Amino acid sequence: MTGSSLRPSFGGHEKFTFRYGWLKKGLDAIIENSGIFSQEDAFVTLGVGKNMAASIRYWGLALGLFQPADNNPRAMQASNLGRALLTDGGWDPYLEDIGSLWFLHWQLASNQERGLVWHLAFSRYYDVEFRKPILIEYLKTQLTQRGVETTDAMIEREFDVFIHTYVPAQNPKGDGEETLNCPLVDLNLIRLAPGDGVYRFDVGAKPSLPAAVLGYALLGFLADKIARQRTVTLDECVYSPGSPGQIFKLDENSTMAYLEDLESLTDGALRMQETAGLRQIYLHAASQELGWELLRKYYA
């Protein structure tokens, strides 16, 4: 979907980032009762605060683990990815593998409906450093260009939740709920210099990012191109908006290293060649199903 055809959703997180245990708890609940999130007492069943129950629903949708039920817009069902990852006996129900956190980061920052602020900040804001007012002004401009009506207060709330997704709580002596960090903090994608309020994206190699997750992301990013062409340039995969290079904050060298790994992992379905100084990725028999296969092999 293009940005212009989407209707972004804001605020459903109730100002909470997601927590360890929330996603599995929500997924198990909708498998048991698809209407759970439309019930007044959902928070009792889930064992969380009322606003947190709404937040679990939001994050399940934003991360592509839940989806609206086919026959009832008020009901939820587990997506194929949600079932594969989080059910008992699934790939990683308790998010113990850091590869799962990278996967969830990709799911969130490539979701232009429920994760638009995450998408814009990671994939279309090209400076390495930012302060809060600078990024808020950038987000405001981007949303206006997309015809999205917002308020300054709403953008500031979205910014705060975005930052708390990746940066540890700064007031560990505060209220207990406010100091619980999001699992994605462990990715160290954004660092804060506390003295001067400057945030910095960590651009470069990501030793904990599995090649299989990068491959899944790359095949998703190239999905519409795969049907029409057999080559893409390395630059597209590193610098284009929405590319794995931008969302994972990789540089060219680390992206090339992943592509070398992916050539063997995909039996040559993805391979890189350099011709006359132009570095291109050849998509031979590449498909989104291949992305699933990479994840299945990784978790096996």
CATH number at residue 273: 1.10.10
Residue 201 forms part of a structural domain: no
Three-class DSSP category at 240: coil
DSSP 8-state assignment for residue 6: -
Residue 283 lies in a domain: yes
Output the pLDDT for position 195: 83
Domain membership of residue 119 (yes or no) is no
Helix (H) or strand (E) holding 31: helix 22-32
Distance of CA 90 to the CA centre of its chain: 20
- Strand ranges inside the chain, DSSP E: 66-69, 72-78, 129-130, 190-193, 198-201, 231-233, 270-275, 278-283
What is the separation of C-alpha 27 from the centre of its chain, rounded to a whole number of angstroms? 18
Closest by alpha carbon to 237, among 185, 248, 131, 294? 248
In a domain, 220, yes or no: yes
Residue 5 confidence (pLDDT): 52
C-alpha to C-alpha distance for 241 and 107, rounded to whole angstroms: 15
Mode of pairing for the β-strands spanning 278-283 and 270-275: antiparallel
Helix then strand then coil, in percent of the chain rounded to 5, is 50, 10, 40
pLDDT in tens, the chain (300 residues): 334 455 777 778 889 999 999 999 999 999 999 989 988 888 888 888 888 989 999 999 999 999 998 877 788 999 999 999 999 999 999 999 999 999 999 999 999 999 999 999 999 999 999 999 999 999 999 999 999 888 999 999 999 999 999 999 876 555 555 558 999 999 999 999 878 899 999 999 999 999 999 999 999 999 888 778 888 999 999 999 999 999 999 999 999 999 999 999 999 888 888 888 888 998 877 677 899 999 999 999
Residue 278 bridge partners (DSSP): 275
Q: Does residue 263 sit within a domain?
A: yes
Q: Indicate whether 178 belongs to any domain.
A: no
Sign of the four-CA dihedral 9, 14, 121, 208: negative
Q: What is the reported pLDDT for 144?
A: 92
- Res 176: pLDDT: 52
Whether 219 is covered by a domain: the verdict is yes
What is the domain range of residue 215?
211-299
Nearest CA to 86 out of 142, 159, 136, 25 is that of 25
Residue 266, CB-side half-sphere exposure with 13 Å CA sphere: 33
Return d(Cα 181, Cα 185) in angstroms, integer: 7
Looking at the structure of the chain, the number of domains it has is 1
Question: Is 222 among the domain residues?
Answer: yes
Residues 6 or more apart from 290 whose CB is under 8 A from it? 215, 219, 266, 269, 270
Tell me which residue of 180, 17, 24 sits closest to 92, measured CA to CA: 24
